[in-house]
Amino acid sequence: MSDLHYRLPDGRIPVVVSADAAENLGRYASSVARYVRANAGLDIHQVAAYLLDARPVRRHRALIAATDRASLLDALDAVAADRPHPDAVRGTASSHRFAYVYPGQGSQRPGMGAVDYRESTAYREAVDECHAESLALFGTSPLDYVLGRDGAAETDDVTVVQPALFMHMLGLTAMWDAAGVRPAMTVGHSQGEIAAAVRSGVATLREGLVVVTERARAVDRIAPRGYTMAVLGIDLDEAERLLARNSGWMELSVVNSAHILCVSGERNAVLDLIATLEADGKFAKEIRVAYPAHTSIVSKFSDVLCTAFDAHGMRERFAEPQIPCIGATLGEPVDQTMPVRDYWFWNLRNRVRFDRAVTRAANDGADTFIEIAEHPTLVLALSETLAETNGTTILGTRRRECTDHALFTRNVLAVAAADADFDWSSWAVPGRTRGVPLEGFPNSVMRRTHLWARYDAGADDAVNRPGWAAPRTDHDVRVLRTSWERPSRRDIIAPQRIAIVTPRGADTALAAAICDAAPHHGAVAWQVPDGGADIAPMDAVLLMLPPGSGDVEGDLAAILADSGWRAGLTDLPATFWVVTVGAEAVVDGDVADPVHAALAAGLRCLAIEQSGVRVAHLDLPATGSSADDVLSAVHIAGETALAVRNGVVHVKRLMSAEGSEPSSPDPTHVVISGGTGQVGLVMAERFARDGARRITLLSRSGGGDAAHRSVARIANRFGVDVDVRRCDVTDQETITRATADLPPVTLLVHAALDYVDRPLDRISTDDVHRAVDAKVFGLRRLLDAVGSVDRVLICSSLAATIGGRDQALYAALNRLLEVEAARLRAEGVDAVAIGWGLWSVQGPLDAERLARVTATGVVPMAPSAALDAGLPISGLDAQVLAASWPDLRDLLAMTGTASLISEVPDAVVEVIDEPIVQPSEPVADPEPAEAEAVVEPVLSGDFGSELAAELAVTMGLGPDDIDPSTPLVALGMDSLQALDFRKRVQASLACDLPVEAILGGASLNEVVGLMGAAS
């Protein structure tokens, strides 16, 4: 028996875990992971086979493409933790109808099928069959061009590229079929209709070859020269108006969607039209073609084209279709009443109405459109036409730069995750034999439903009192963690005029690349000269931070001190982007750069200090970032903290830290730096209450009278040895003296600080030095002096996450501490940094500054509640705070950062104490309101974040690399497609959106969001 039972297109092993309820999917993945770990000799092939053979695939699914035991366990752990993973695709299955979409000419290149021919047996067999049939019919074949061998070169020769595209599309069709997809219909665009007809069964392979080859040869012989084509980003009315005002000969030849059109005509006339549109700031681009297809000129050659196939004995009428074939020739299905010779002449002469064909497919039930092409070319047009059709998904096959079938496999997994009727047997290895059952393999996790109330529910409540079972959560203390998520949707903004600031040492090569690439995104970018002189009007600034030199203090001072971050700019634009490299731990393996992390946190405060300036943070990977990544990200609206990893955009969110394993510290001997401050004394009393035997308070001043009275009270009340030692953490000598005779330390709490309350424009080098010395270097000195310690608790601040007025340096230093905690954990130290919110003990804040903080919505926490929440945290950094969440959202919305807490619920339940009084007389039922048809709006961030969950359900988007939540630029969208895509957004909004708004290179979800905003 072969060890291999099931195999994915790229050779990896499919492991399918599923559950009836979304909340149970992670639990089942965890159970499977435990089983695999407990059975060291278990082969992943057995796991994959058992899950597909012996367990029903349920509605909520996670599909893992595993290569070995380690990769499987890593992916299962990610699913269990509800984390994204490159080898896992999640989905919720329902019934779907798939449409294969075949593009026309334009995406061809030599070697376009080489990867597929090497990787896919199905592709290879289909192409070889087409090759053999072509040789038999014509003595030639386009196979060498498709595979890029024997000197195949770029060419516009239709006798080469059209048969090659036909052959390639049939091979890709075979790949999708073999992967388990069962199309309900095909949609053909121009020449792509020929391949669509073969897949639908209305034409045979032989007939398709005859049509594509003989027609191309006829066109090559008779086609007139001196013509060209242009793609335009305007609507039909404007196109007709412009054509009517041009004296040259042109015709509208293609309608891909409402705002993606093509004209064909005399080259001088077309070039004149392009110039007119460009002068108006609208998109138009020439596409060189050999002849004016899809225009009335083709009618002159009807006799030649209609008789081109006669020598091959073509049938008169199309065959009965196995599945509908919807063509852009007529915008309707091909049927048996249509004459074959005439239809293929119409296909070349008629205006391409791809918009009508797609609309017809959607009306006939298609909800998932798969483009049969090496690289997406029709995604933009599809998205515009389908924008108002709920529940549609658009997928590609792969991208031209792919060197294997990993992306194709991920797209197949997306289909399988979403399709309730998917044919899992298509992944089975031929000749496989079912193995024996796996003893003790975990059963599917079923939904648990509790039908009975607790025995004490409602005790002591007034009869019928509503809300008796609801918890009160007014300003409750929350424990939150930072999470970087792939957004389910994004909105975009109009293309920007971007000034790029490059301080000494910054990546000027990337800055130059951004300037070069900006026009392809509809934007304009330039580098700011030294001193900031002669700055043109700008919408945004990109501050490209230089890499750290190893001198943390000096690197921070170079930017924060003396307004170094301004680079001579006197006036700031509406958006100020801080571009860092590796500042955030976004994916597994990331190690945050301390300097960039701190600078991003500090500069964030600018949004509160300077009204009208939105500060945003973009974090790039240490390697592999591109100008397109930057330009795509800075055109995303509603997000002010983004990171790019492996070409994928992630957004920052604060999430509940519930579910992390609590681990209270051992308080046997606690050392607290900053121990005689307000926070230090509160913590000392808490640890004394928890059973501490010794507490050592390190204090620069040695503590005042009030502090010593508190120490005496704690020692007497709890019988604990509390020792106050004078210790300046900025002085290694005093640290050494203070710690020389200390017994072993079980917990080190770093609460020392040098609070600098200073606006960004007034921070000095001395300020930076004092703060870094106390907060960061002081911690390192203490650790070196104390030696081994069971746990380190670092007191950070919420300011490191959300900023604050005049708190730039304070925020930066606290962020440095968080990075330090992560570094310690990587070295095996049990360290945690807690970003505390506001305590009811003021610490360094006077009444005025306290009022300033509480005005943001952050409210004081009782120390006991804060410590109850924060002390058990282990293994991660967290924020502990209480807030009036609606007020905090309003404040963050003013600075454009409300999305940061979009996943944090208000969770405030109003309890009504009055009982419900039964009416003495019956009340007549109100007349039912007349039912209205409800159209679910498509919503975007600022206009409908409360319906985000409903949007995900109604759209039914699949979690694959081509799904609408993924930036299309990251999927390989070229500049032409990006410019076309902006027209799709203009149409979708139906309002005065600037015509360039889409060229930021965003996802389909962003476009859908803009449509909803307009509606």
Both 24 and 131 in a single domain?
no
Both 270 and 311 in a single domain?
no
Neighbour count for residue 499 (Cβ, 10 Å)? 23
In terms of average pLDDT, the best of 206-215, 796-805, 912-921 is 206-215
Residue 926 within any structural domain of the chain = no
Both 169 and 273 in a single domain?
no
Residue among 186, 133, 189, 188 nearest 163 (CA): 133
Q: Across residues 335-357, what is the average pLDDT?
A: 94
pLDDT at position 982 is 42
High-pLDDT (> 70) share of the chain, %: 83
Report phi then psi at 13, rounded to 5: -100, 130
Check pLDDT > 90 for residue 1000.
no
Q: Which amino acid, one-letter code, is at 880?
A: V
Both 141 and 169 in a single domain?
yes
Angle CA 119–124–128, to nearest 5: 160
Residue 663 within any structural domain of the chain = no
Of 507-521, 727-741, 893-907, least confident by mean pLDDT is 893-907
Neighbour count for residue 200 (Cβ, 10 Å)? 26
Q: Domain range holding 734?
A: 669-841+868-881
Mean pLDDT of the chain: 82
Confidence bin at 950 (pLDDT 50/70/90):
very low
High-pLDDT (> 90) share of the chain, %: 55
Measured CA to CA, the distance from residue 387 to residue 988 in angstroms comes to 7
The better pLDDT of the pair 457, 896 is held by: 896
Measured CA to CA, the distance from residue 474 to residue 494 in angstroms comes to 40
Both 80 and 191 in a single domain?
no
- Give the tokens for residue 958: 């699949």
Both 755 and 699 in a single domain?
yes
| 944 neighbors 340 (Cβ within 8 angstroms) | no
| 399 neighbors 407 (Cβ within 8 angstroms) | yes
Helices (H) and strands (E) in the chain, counts: 35, 32
Of 201-210, 382-391, 643-652, 958-967, least confident by mean pLDDT is 958-967
Q: Which amino acid, one-letter code, is at 9?
A: P
| 45 neighbors 3 (Cβ within 8 angstroms) | yes
Residue among 508, 503, 516 nearest 628 (CA): 516
**550 Cβ contact list (under 8 Å, min separation 6):** none
Check pLDDT > 90 for residue 224.
no
Measured CA to CA, the distance from residue 524 to residue 518 in angstroms comes to 5
Measured CA to CA, the distance from residue 172 to residue 376 in angstroms comes to 13
Angle CA 983–987–988, to nearest 5: 115
The better pLDDT of the pair 41, 563 is held by: 41
Measured CA to CA, the distance from residue 427 to residue 14 in angstroms comes to 8
Measured CA to CA, the distance from residue 497 to residue 661 in angstroms comes to 47
H/E segment holding residue 978:
helix 975-989
Check pLDDT > 80 for residue 914.
no
Boundary (domain end) residue, out of 653, 688, 711? 653
In terms of average pLDDT, the best of 361-365, 573-577, 603-607 is 361-365
Sign of CA dihedral 978, 984, 989, 995: positive
Confidence bin at 531 (pLDDT 50/70/90):
low
Q: Which amino acid, one-letter code, is at 394?
A: I
The stretches of 861-917 forming alpha helices (DSSP H) are 863-870, 885-894
Q: Across residues 553-569, what is the average pLDDT?
A: 82
- Give the tokens for residue 901: 């807490």
Measured CA to CA, the distance from residue 677 to residue 556 in angstroms comes to 27
Q: Across residues 188-195, what is the average pLDDT?
A: 96
Check pLDDT > 60 for residue 975.
no
SS (H, E, C) 598-658: HHHHHHCCHHHHCCCCEEEEEEECCCCCCHHHHHHHHCEECCCEEEEECCEEEEEEEEECC
- Give the tokens for residue 396: 């590609």
Check pLDDT > 50 for residue 991.
no
Q: Across residues 447-460, what is the average pLDDT?
A: 51
Q: Which residue has the tokens 């979409």?
A: 101
Residue among 971, 986, 980, 974 nearest 255 (CA): 980
Boundary (domain end) residue, out of 260, 289, 318? 289
Q: Across residues 320-330, what is the average pLDDT?
A: 96
Q: Write the DSSP assignment of 645-673 as a string of letters.
A: ETTEEEEEEEEE-TTS-------SEEEEE
Measured CA to CA, the distance from residue 66 to residue 78 in angstroms comes to 13
Residue 323 within any structural domain of the chain = yes
Q: Across residues 367-378, what is the average pLDDT?
A: 94
In terms of average pLDDT, the best of 114-128, 534-548, 730-744 is 114-128
pLDDT at position 789 is 93
* Residue burial 346-384, b: 16+ Cβ < 10 Å; e: rest: bbbbbbbbbbbbbbbbbeeebbbbbbbbbbbbbbbbbbb
pLDDT at position 537 is 79
Measured CA to CA, the distance from residue 836 to residue 656 in angstroms comes to 15
Q: Across residues 71-90, what is the average pLDDT?
A: 95
Measured CA to CA, the distance from residue 619 to residue 649 in angstroms comes to 10
3 state SS of 323: coil
pLDDT at position 194 is 97
Residue 458 within any structural domain of the chain = no
| 125 neighbors 211 (Cβ within 8 angstroms) | no
Measured CA to CA, the distance from residue 357 to residue 351 in angstroms comes to 12
Q: Which residue has the tokens 């200073």?
A: 758
Measured CA to CA, the distance from residue 22 to residue 28 in angstroms comes to 10
Sign of CA dihedral 284, 289, 293, 295: positive
Residue 74 within any structural domain of the chain = yes
Q: What is the CATH number of the domain that holds 205?
A: 3.40.366.10
Angle CA 964–967–972, to nearest 5: 110
Check pLDDT > 50 for residue 972.
no
Residue among 138, 155, 137 nearest 146 (CA): 155
Q: What is the CATH number of the domain that holds 643?
A: 3.40.50.11460
How many separate domains does the chain show? 6
Q: What is the CATH number of the domain that holds 46?
A: 3.30.70.3290
Distance of CA 313 to the CA centre of its chain: 53
Both 712 and 787 in a single domain?
yes
Check pLDDT > 90 for residue 189.
yes
- Give the tokens for residue 166: 């036909």
Both 17 and 75 in a single domain?
yes
Q: Across residues 238-257, what is the average pLDDT?
A: 94
Of 39-53, 183-197, 686-700, 843-857, least confident by mean pLDDT is 843-857
Residue 339 within any structural domain of the chain = yes
Confidence (pTM)? 0.50
Measured CA to CA, the distance from residue 587 to residue 610 in angstroms comes to 33
3 state SS of 251: strand
Measured CA to CA, the distance from residue 987 to residue 1011 in angstroms comes to 8
Check pLDDT > 80 for residue 571.
no
Strand-by-strand arrangement of the 227-232 sheet: 284-287, 227-232, 260-266, 250-257, 352-353
Residue among 111, 103, 62, 106 nearest 85 (CA): 62
Confidence bin at 856 (pLDDT 50/70/90):
low
Residue 445 within any structural domain of the chain = no
Query: For residue 256, with 0-12 CB atoms within 10 Å meaning exposed, 13-18 middle and 19 or more buried, which class applies?
Result: buried
Q: Across residues 643-650, what is the average pLDDT?
A: 91
Of 219-233, 549-563, 852-866, 929-943, least confident by mean pLDDT is 929-943
Farthest-apart Cα atoms in the chain, separation: 110
Measured CA to CA, the distance from residue 254 to residue 242 in angstroms comes to 16
- Give the tokens for residue 173: 């069709």
pLDDT at position 476 is 76
Both 744 and 771 in a single domain?
yes
- Long-range residue pairs from 994-998, CB within 8 A, at least 24 positions apart, any chain: 994/494, 994/495, 995/233, 995/281, 995/282, 995/283, 996/281, 996/283, 996/494, 996/495, 996/522, 996/523, 997/492, 997/493, 997/494, 997/495, 998/492, 998/522
pLDDT at position 959 is 34
Both 143 and 267 in a single domain?
no
pLDDT at position 998 is 29
**303 Cβ contact list (under 8 Å, min separation 6):** none
In terms of average pLDDT, the best of 261-265, 281-285, 755-759, 858-862 is 261-265
Residue 801 within any structural domain of the chain = yes
Q: List % helix, strand, coil for the chain (3-state, nearest 5).
A: 40, 15, 45
Measured CA to CA, the distance from residue 381 to residue 265 in angstroms comes to 22
Of the CA atoms within 13 Å of residue 58, those in its CB half-sphere come to: 16
Measured CA to CA, the distance from residue 267 to residue 245 in angstroms comes to 16
pLDDT at position 440 is 85
Both 552 and 630 in a single domain?
yes
Measured CA to CA, the distance from residue 110 to residue 352 in angstroms comes to 26
Q: Across residues 722-737, what is the average pLDDT?
A: 92
| 414 neighbors 958 (Cβ within 8 angstroms) | yes
Check pLDDT > 70 for residue 1015.
no
Both 336 and 371 in a single domain?
no
Q: What is the CA radius of gyration of the chain?
A: 33
Query: For residue 756, with 0-12 CB atoms within 10 Å meaning exposed, 13-18 middle and 19 or more buried, which class applies?
Result: buried
pLDDT at position 613 is 85
C-alpha to C-alpha distances, 483 to 274, 480, 879, 941, nearest whole angstrom: 46, 9, 12, 19
**730 Cβ contact list (under 8 Å, min separation 6):** 770, 773, 774, 777, 778
pLDDT at position 434 is 75
pLDDT tens readout for residues 578-596: 999 999 999 988 999 999 9
Check pLDDT > 90 for residue 274.
yes
Q: Across residues 654-674, what is the average pLDDT?
A: 87
Of 530-534, 547-551, 697-701, least confident by mean pLDDT is 530-534
pLDDT at position 965 is 40
Q: Across residues 674-692, what is the average pLDDT?
A: 92
